[in-house]
Amino acid sequence: MPFEAWGELKAIRGRRYIIIPILLNIILAILIFRYGLSGWIVQILVDLLDARLDAGWQWLVSLANVIFNVVAFIMVSVIAVRVGTIIGSPFYGLVAERIDDKYLAGESAPHVTVLQSIRNALWYEGRKLVLVALLSLMGFVLEFIPVIGVFIGSTFVLVSLTVVVLLDYTDVPLSRRGILFRQRFALFRRYLPEILGFAVIMVPLSTVPIVNFVAVPLGITAGALLFVKYMKPTIAS
């Protein structure tokens, strides 16, 4: 379905609305990496390590510099996409409106202003952080179960990641309609095969640096399609 989203964007003339968030992701990543994690924090860590090692250990400083920058780049890709999603939320809202107009003629959600889109995105990110913290804590606790704890904890974390990804990509159409978190979980359970198929594709794409700059905007579009094709009839009934 994410790959179907690009063709759907052409059909509704919405590609220009997705290009802007993609560019935002790239620009934010460059700025954060150059002037934040890499340009400042990583350099401080490398300088501290360099000052404490003899000349014969300079290879370790070079290796640490590479490792720190790789870790920083991965973190930056995640941060940039999350911030870009908030700033780009009005554009995602426009795409969702066009998809509504095509598939749900006369039933589309109320128009959402730019400020309302950003407010909804911020409110969602806040609730998601709380949910992620709780799920992470539960996964950590489960790993202490004797013998099978690591397997159970790892499985729980994977399932939790899948749920968070589903929440991410379906937030725009659901937030526009004021659908609560617990109602979203009910929708996910009802259409579990379709939801899992969507998640199997989007979870790996969302976690690969650089790829996620493009995958996230397309995934949000695909989430809007998932809503109008499967979830909307359930809500209407």
pLDDT digit string, tens, across residues 108-127: 566 777 788 888 888 888 88
pLDDT in tens, 134-179: 888 888 888 888 878 888 888 888 888 888 888 888 888 888 888 8
- The backbone torsions φ and ψ at residue 206, rounded to the nearest 5 degrees and listed phi first, read -75, -20
Top pLDDT among 52 and 215 is at 215
Q: Which residue has the higher pLDDT, 2 or 98?
A: 98
pTM above 0.85, yes or no: no
Name the burial class of residue 118, with classes exposed (0-12), middle (13-18) and buried (19+) by CB atoms within 10 angstroms of its CB. middle
Residue 174, Cβ density class (10 Å: 0-12 exposed, 13-18 middle, ≥19 buried): buried
Q: What is the per-residue DSSP string for 10-43? A: HHTT-HHHHHHHHHHHHHHHHHHIIIIIIIIIIH
